[in-house]
Every structure is written in C-alpha cells, then in structure tokens.
Amino acid sequence: MNGKTYTKYAGALAFAGTFQFIIAMIIAEAKYSGYSIRNNYISDLGVGPTAPIFNTSIIIFGIAIVIVSYLVYKSINVKLFPALMFIAGLGAALVGVFPEGSPYHIHTLVSFVTFFFGSLAVISSFRIQKDIMSYISVLIGLVSLISLSFYIYGITLGIGVGGLERMIAYPILLWTLYFSGYLYSLK
C-alpha cells in the first residue's frame, strides 16, 4: 500500500469508529432511565443496563483510533501525532474494558489518559494540516485541555460534572470527524 491508500483507510476508519461511538452514546443516554448530561458522568453509561452498548462502542472506537494512528504513522512523516493518538486510542479502549468501579481506580486513570493524550493529539495535528484548520485544531485541543484542568480541580462552570466532561470529550470527537475527512482527502 502507498501513503495515499493508508490515509484513505485511516480517514474512513476514523470516521466509522467515531461516528458509531457518538451514536451509541446517544442511544445509551436515551435508554438510561433518569440519566442527566449535566449531573452524570459519561462513564456512568458503562455500568448498569447500558453497559453493553457503551463499553462495546468505546472499545471499538479505541481500537479504531489505535489502527488509525498506525496508518497515519505509515503515511505521513511525523511521529509525535500518531504516538499521542495511539495512547489516546488505547486509553479509550481500556475505558470500556475497565468501567467505573474497577479496582485500583483503573477507570479514572485510563479516562484521564484518553482525555489528556486526546487533547495533545489534536493540538499536535497542526504540524500536518494546512492553513486555518491547523490553528483551529490547536484551539479545539486547548478547549479540551483547559476543560480537563477545570474538571480535575472540580470547577464545573455551572454546567455540572457531566457538562464539563462533555466539554473535554466532544471537541475531541468532533475534531476526529473533521480530521477523518481531512485524511481521506489527502493526495
């Protein structure tokens, strides 16, 4: 395979993995009785009746991102970005393997790894993009990283823990949808 083929596969897989996770999360939120996007953590969806939907979906998402990181590494002459993406993808898959309540705070650790390295991957992508989107990607990554800092210090900005957690996750997920198209269109 040549670099163009790798980036096309990477783009398609990044889109499919991210899209299925977003849809599964919406379904799980709708099926979880009494669930509040303001007051509940995203990972609350990984326990109870919605656990099979959420955990399977985030494992698929994480594995897809790990594979995408390899394809990007093989096709674009950068090392930091795919390494950060690999760590974030592995963390995401492990969120589904170790749901809330797992021993030794493993879930908390892998959630942090996913959010932190996902934010850094988005920021580091500026080196491979062109024009204004390279700067917008830095801003998107900073929104997630700053939101993660607020989250760690318990500053919920009046939107609750669930709202703040989404201020970390959603920018990364939405950026991944954008970036999948970028990868697919590379020549």
pLDDT tens for residues 4-50? 789 999 999 999 999 999 999 999 999 999 999 999 999 999 999 99
What's the confidence (pLDDT) of residue 1? 66
The widest CA-to-CA distance across the chain, in whole angstroms, is 50
Question: Residue 71, class by beta-carbon neighbours within 10 Å (0-12 exposed, 13-18 middle, 19+ buried)?
Answer: buried
pLDDT tens for residues 118-134? 999 999 999 999 889 99
Considering its fold, how many domains does the chain have in total?
1
Q: How many CA atoms lie within 13 A of 83 on its CB side?
A: 5
What's the confidence (pLDDT) of residue 11? 97
Domain span at residue 138?
3-185
